[in-house]
Amino acid sequence: MSADTRGQAPNPVKLPIYMDNHATTPVDPRVMEAMLPYFMEKFGNPASHSHEFGWTAEAAVEQARQQIAALIGAQAKEIVFTSGATESDNLAITGVAGACRDKGDHIITVITEHKAVLDTCRHLEKAGCRVTYLPVAKDGLLNLDELRRAITDKTILVTVMAANNEIGVVQPLAEIGRMCRERGVLFHSDAAQGAGKIPINVDQLNLDLLSISGHKLYGPKGVGALYVRSKPQACVAPIIHGGGHEHGMRSGTLNVTGIVGLGKACEICARDMEEENRRLAALRNRLKEAILGRLEDVHVNGSLEHRLPGNLNLAFGHVDAEALQMGLRDVAVSSGSACSSASIAPSHVLKAIGMPENYAAIRFGIGRFNTEAEVDYVADRICKTVDSLRELEPRESGVGSQ
């Protein structure tokens, strides 16, 4: 080592470090490049069918529709553009409830779903629908036998997320889809965290509806898509009216720039997913081993076997969640607890898997642009911060359980 580098870290990192890629991802430069012409040069409305500006915009939208469909094994005509996965979830669940009211009024979901699903289901309960909220085991997985018993002749929809946004657990979609198809029940999955990160084929999984969000897979914010099966047709009543865009399922002028970005992001994911997953899983395991090798009373929340490659959710015993978050100012991660803290609301997911109240959780979302040097820095910061907090307040930490 030369004199001018002696004592320095071998792989210096730029602070702060972003490791919260389940909350949102940066736009990939290749995605931005594809989007740029549609801000000013190719600004037409795809519904304008009488001139070249409109034709160019429409062609870009249809190309994106094909790129998204290719990622999930669908047909281009089955892709409906929305503002994001929250709208897609609302359209899928509320739309099925409206279209299938003559068949039944029963919906089945899971207690660890995203609030976009849970709150939509609660809204429909006020409108007269019946909803079954299935529990999960400590590993975050639902029990297929409980699902089978929950399905009745009045069940119109089962909605189960592909991968959990907090603990990264991947649900057994193939088995769920097979069960739904056998019983003639529509199957929807919120794949905001799963699309582009794990292989998803709507035919193989017997999915009828699938929600996608652009900003979770290195595309822009404010754009998403809903896959709606055409054969057999998944009937969905619109929740936004006016203009009849998207086959009448979602009216409103299309966000061409965002749609182009979403399409390009899906194309990149489809091409690079396998190689990227190997790299992310290696980084995830490196982080896990570094932390668990230095700290006691730490465990992984959720199944390690059935998990997103870039997700690590750790529970730290005898550490206050708010204090831990405050101690990590130069690292962007997500903090949580199973009970209320001064600034951290209780996590329904962590409560559902039985994480003790006197534990603090950290969700690491490792992404496309994270490096080994960043992983090593974050592991060291976590260990030093936890050790410091335990030394300062060995008996007073875990205040959230009071």
Q: How far is residue 379 from each of residues 253, 289, 393, measured CA to CA in Å?
A: 46, 9, 21
> Please, are residues 230 and 202 in contact by the beta-carbon 8 Å criterion?
no
Q: Which residues contact 131 (CB under 8 A, 6 or more apart)?
A: 106, 107, 108, 109, 121, 122, 124, 125
Q: Which residues contact 142 (CB under 8 A, 6 or more apart)?
A: 110, 134, 135, 136, 160, 171, 172
For residue 258, give the amino acid letter: G
Q: Catalytic residue at 100?
A: no
Of 165, 184, 174, which Cα lies nearest the Cα of 365? Answer: 165
Encode burial over 187-221: b for 16+ CB neighbours within 10 A, e otherwise.
bbbbbbbbbbbbebebeebbbbbbbbbbbbbbbbb
Residue with tokens 């088995």: 175
Give the C-alpha separation, 345 to 335, whole Å. Answer: 10
Q: How far is residue 371's CA from residue 366's CA, in Å, rounded to a whole number?
A: 9
Nearest 10 degrees: Cα torsion 58, 25, 80, 94? -150
CB-based contact 154:104 (threshold 8 Å):
yes
Catalytic residue among 100, 121, 180, 339: 339
The Cα 270–Cα 395 span in angstroms is 50
Tracing tokens 């962590």 back to the chain, one arrives at 350
Tell me the catalytic residues. Answer: 339
